[in-house]
Structure 1
Amino acid sequence: MSVGRSANKVWNNPIGRLLTLLVGGGLVAGALTIYPQILPVVRWAIPVSFVLWGASRLYFYGVGDPLSLATGCLLILGGFTYASYLLISMDEFTGTIAQLTPAVGIFTELFAAHYRNQD
């Protein structure tokens, strides 16, 4: 059995997926414990990944589908708002909006993926 087929077999199983995510989270937590100077890299990787994820949605699915367009734009905006939250001191309301924008982008991506898979 090839490595790719084994990985697909584990990832398609819900318990295997949960264990994979737990092991990955444990590795990240262990790396942060051993090397605390990595923390700024991990902290800034989150907004960068939101921007790249949003750009990939726009690149792969184009601007013809309104839901994919909204998803891409919300993820990119969420990446920038979360980065500004990390960079600038904000009050409670502005900080909440800056942190909720990526969450709204993620939920619209879930809806867009659901409707893409139905076609």
Structure 2
Amino acid sequence: MTLLIGVSLVFGALALYPQILPVFEWATPVVLVFWGTSRFYFFEVDDSLTSAGGCLLLLGGFTLAAYRFVPMDDLTGAVAHLIPAIGIFVELFANHHRDHD
């Protein structure tokens, strides 16, 4: 129910204020960069899996921002979307191992 209300609010805001669309487009890369940076702030570089996840999240945020800023072909766009997905997977995997150790 919460997800449905949140999605409805986002689409409602986009319908009423279409000029807010760039904010939503740029929110994803910014969140990925902050998430990757927080991995180094909270867990430092002691765990190599967490460091790899943080680096991939940072790289994914920058590549996604570059994809939004500079027009790219289809293959480069696919790689720009694949890096954040791999970074999220590695971070979830690292989180799983932190919880079980």
TM-score (norm 1): 0.82
The residue number in structure 1 matching 2:4 is 22
For structure 1, the residue ranges without an aligned partner over 5 or more in a row are: 1-18
User: Residue in 1 aligned with 2:49?
Assistant: 67
Cα RMSD (Å): 0.8
Find runs of 4+ consecutive structure 1 residues off by over 4 angstroms. none
**2:72 counterpart (61, 80, 90):** 90
Q: Does 1:80 align with 2:58?
A: no
1:100 aligned residue: 82
**Structure 2 unaligned runs (5+)?**
none
- Highest relative contact order (Cα 8 Å, sep 6+), 1 or 2? 2
1:22 CA displacement: 2.2
Among all aligned residue pairs of Structure 1 and Structure 2, give the percentage whose two residues are the same amino acid.
59
Instruction: Tell me which residue corresponds to 1:40.
Output: 22
- Higher alpha-carbon Rg: 1
Matched residue count:
101
Displacement of 1:60 after TM fit? Answer: 0.5
